[in-house]
A and B are shown apart, each in its own frame.
Chain A
Amino acid sequence: MALLPGPTEMSTTSLKPKSVETRQNVVILFAGDSGDGIQLTGSQFTDTNALFGNDVSTFPNFPAEIRAPQGTIAGVSGFQLHFGSVEIWTPGDQCDVLVVMNAAALKANLIKLKKGGHLIINTDGFDRKNLRLAGYVDDADPLTDGTLEHYALHSVDVTKLTRTALEGTTLGMKEKDRCKNMFVLGFINWLYSRENALNEAFLQKKFAKKPELLDANLKALSAGYFFGETSETFTTRFEVKPAPMPQGVYRSITGNQGTALGLIAGAQKAKLDLFYGSYPITPASEILHELSRHKNFGVVTFQAEDEIAAISSAIGASYGGALGITASSGPGIALKTEALGLAFMLEIPLVIVNVQRGGPSTGLPTRTEQADLWQAVHGRNGEAPIPVIAASTPIDCFDMAFEAVQIALEHMTPVILLTDGYIANGSEPWRFPAAKDLAAIHPPFIPAKESGSSSEGFLPYLRDDRGVRPWALPGQAGLQHRIGGIEKQDRTGNISYDPANHERMVRLRAEKVARIADRFKPIRLDSGPPEGEVLVVGWGSTYGAIRTAALRLQGEGRSVAHVHLRHLFPFNKGLGPLLQRYRKVLVPEMNSGQLRQLLRAEFLVDAQGFNKIQGMPFTSEEIRDGILNLMDR
């Protein structure tokens, strides 16, 4: 990308027509105090661009504290948006534009701005107090001390301009200042040749019952837009043309929304009610919020007294014939572990979503990590293999949630779906499917006509050719039976301590889960040659960064292929042979090498790790460097 014009002085006098430059893609980061409304500014600008036809990817990043001390680094909230006229796979590595509302936001985020990038600052957030709170000591002032000389600095007194625009309204100063985010949004809309219309419609709805606030927010939005037009802060506007996306109707979706909708769609396609037992936890709570809005889909949400009750109630609901679901993040999943074993032992359908965050223990609640893979695959007492699948993008959360429901219901097993905070909160445009195009789901119910007992009585653990037991529901006459967590006799389900029976049951249960791999589609490379130098094996939310890096290296003539795993247990049957077709295997992960070890154990392959454990996603640049390092080794 070409370097942008240098710093400009601010003035609001002339009305010279401004030139428009076209950009292929832009990364913009809005940052401010957590009370500044940054998330709203970011998501509104995202919606506008998506509606315009850009491909977009977002990364909201906020503090764990609800009201962290104002003005401090700890209280900085950020929203990064990558939009373009080309395919976009990540929220972007380095920013083209950084908008900061105060000194702390600058200090926390300047490192992410490209040299020569546009830096838009709210000067009111750089008074002595704010500088001190941000940790600039001894009267240091980044605005004047040369810190910013490599950037295109645009100083705007957003606070003052917003207050001026709202003169004559009845709002208090505090309420006026809360409209700053709309001023910024209006200005950015102007800068990128977008209109305010979508945001105006949003405000009309949001403040329908508060006309004074509506009026103020609309005024601030419009003032920001006109400020762009009249001031000389920017002499150039930019334009990002629509992306060549497949034709169709789109909406925006976050990963947690995708997960919630995928679960509802699964229940609908199985013609079942959905029971969601949950205990609030970051970053999984939005799934509960989303599901609780859709009770007309036969969705029952149960905010349980704790994580254990959340999963246990879901087991009770599945026992009753509904689709039982629970979700949490690492610490909550740890609490659910014993009940997970029960669900496995009962062989009852259940979906468990883990929206991973930084661990161990409480760890980094609002940061992302992929460090719960071993917990998902191994974390139970006894031998209790449970299918583990993972989503790679916000949209993929929908697809994988749907698949989790399919596997759980059609194979009578708990299924763990791994997502993480990065894709759970990130969003992208979604060409949503039609309901009729989603596969029907067929749980192994026992038809009413077969009710009634054979000579042996009803056998709750009599398996079909896939090793799957039938799902008899309380209320079905003649099928009364007892199930439980104690080892059971083959076929009858009665308690059995017989040594040979125990070994048979352990093997039967494992075999049933292993055979779920029979339903997976053949493994497919995401990109790259079918054999060659390096195969990059990824899973989960690293997808965009790996894809971007792999495509770039392929463009540079490098022999690099990328495969992204959605099925982590059992693995796709084609994975073993695929790994043999490359000289080197690289496994980038946001952990110390959990998938790498599983691959080594399963396939005796010398997989190499490339690991980042900072609570932050990989940039595609980092992945590229990792691949090149391995190639040069």
Chain B
Amino acid sequence: MSNKEHMEGTPGQALPTGSSKVDFSSDQEVRWCPGCGDYSILKQMQTLLEQSGRKKEEVVFISGIGCSSRFPYYMDTYGLHGIHGRAPAIVSGLRSVRPELSVWMITGDGDALSIGGNHIIHLLRRNVDVNVLLFNNEIYGLTKGQYSPTSPEGAVTRSTPMGSTDHPFNPMALFKGADGTFLARSMDRDPKHMREVLARADAHRGTSMVEIYQNCNVFNDGAFEVFTEKATKAANTLFVEHGRPLVFAGGTKGIKLDGFTPTIVDLTDGKHAVDDLWVHDERDGFKASLLVRIFHDPRVEGGMPRPFGVFYVHDRPTHEEKLHAQVQRVKQTKGAADLDALLKGEHTWMIG
């Protein structure tokens, strides 16, 4: 139903190999299902790194468990495919000792928000310098189709044949609550936007959290089609840009702030102008808290369009910066390591 508009990265399609370009794809055969949204993300990631001029050996991909977490095997970089939910902890240890590396974490809605929920919030609060790609497909794919912590209430899945009764997470609101310093959302069907967002994430120092709506065409096909399909995309999505007013639906509608309440206004009825609208300021943490709360089903009467783009950027020292600054301070005050002095301790006595 939603496979008509495939762009780049379709399986079987040869990856472009320019003679001057470094090829970041590994020699391993990619084994995602044909038509999976993961292919598009892999392609954009490889393109971004190829364009970045980074050396392969300086890049590390760490993942947990799930379809998305096979990602490191397809990159000709260093990679570690870990255990379910624990990638943030593995990343935290790696970054603590190797702050010069470019570290990317690949995770999914189950990996990051269910089994690894505890680790993801602590990664964000510590502000470990890593770029996180959260492949959100609102389903458990690798275990063959159970509902996930982002599946909407009522979702009919293998484990919820009568509909899910669980309330889902709003991931970005959760990440904002955990004091994330870079929050963004993109989608597999908009490669250009994804690449721009990933480049911004790469440039940010600290935990860059990028949620990517990714279609699982086998177990949850069309979950995001209202946002991704041409016919419905404009009316139901809100692409935010720093310093620009919040407009959507081809410039015919906008969002203004009525006190603390975002409200949709019609820009064609002569009563509202672009000047009335909420202007996106990605450095404004309070407004970002409101923006990430726009999480309605736009198809429902009064529903707001789903925001995409970079929602929030905040500069705060990273975990590893503070850690190493402290080690340096201690080295200055206590002096370099002297193992003999350490073994000797503070009180000794002589016998004989």
Q: Which residues of A contact B (CB under 8 A)?
A: 47, 50-51, 53, 242, 245-253, 261, 264-265, 268, 273, 275, 277, 294-298, 300, 302, 304-306, 308-310, 312-322, 324, 338-339, 341-342, 346, 431-435, 457, 474-486, 494-495
Contact = CB atoms under 8 A, between A and B. Distances in A.
Contact of A313 (B77, B79, B92): B92
A482 B98 CA distance: 17
Interface in B45-104: 55-58, 60, 62, 72-73, 75-83, 86, 88-98, 100-101
Interface string B239-270: 00000000000000000000000000000000
Interface in B119-145: 119, 122
A294 B342 contact: yes
Nearest to A299: B327
Interface stretch (B283-291, B295-303, B306-314, B331-339): B331-339
A264 B90 CA distance: 22
A22 B10 CA distance: 90
Contact of A295 (B86, B97, B327): B327
B58 to A, nearest CB: 6
Contact of B339 (A265, A314, A319, A474): A265
A152 to B, nearest CB: 32
Nearest to B77: A480
A277 B88 CA distance: 13
Nearest to A47: B347
B327 A484 contact: no
B194 to A, nearest CB: 23
Contacts of B58: 474-475
A253 B57 CA distance: 44
B5 interface: no
A338 B122 contact: no
Given A295-B330, A316-B91, A247 B343 contact: no
A268 B339 contact: yes
Contacts of A297: 337, 339, 342
Contact of B100 (A264, A475, A479, A495): A475
Contacts, number: 205
Contacts of B12: none
Contacts of B14: none
B350 interface: yes
Contact of A474 (B98, B118, B326, B336): B98
Contact of A484 (B81, B94, B97, B345): B81
B76 to A, nearest CB: 6
B331 A495 contact: no
Contacts of B97: 273, 275, 300, 317, 320-322
B89 A495 contact: no
A479 B340 CA distance: 37
Given A242-B351, A319-B80, A306 B118 contact: yes
A474 B339 CA distance: 28
B351 A308 contact: no
Interface string B316-330: 000000010011001
A250 B348 contact: yes
A474 B78 contact: yes
A481 B57 CA distance: 9
B343 A261 contact: yes
Given A247-B352, A480-B77, A312 B340 contact: no
B119 A309 contact: yes
Contact of A482 (B73, B331, B337): B73
27 contacts: A51-B349, A245-B352, A246-B351, A246-B352, A249-B348, A250-B350, A251-B348, A295-B326, A296-B330, A296-B337, A306-B118, A316-B90, A316-B96, A317-B94, A317-B97, A322-B97, A432-B343, A432-B344, A457-B27, A474-B57, A474-B94, A475-B101, A478-B57, A482-B75, A482-B79, A485-B81, A494-B28
B165 interface: no
Contact of B90 (A50, A294, A313, A495): A313
A310 B92 CA distance: 10
Nearest to A483: B80
Nearest to B323: A300
Nearest to A50: B349
B26 interface: yes
B93 A298 contact: no
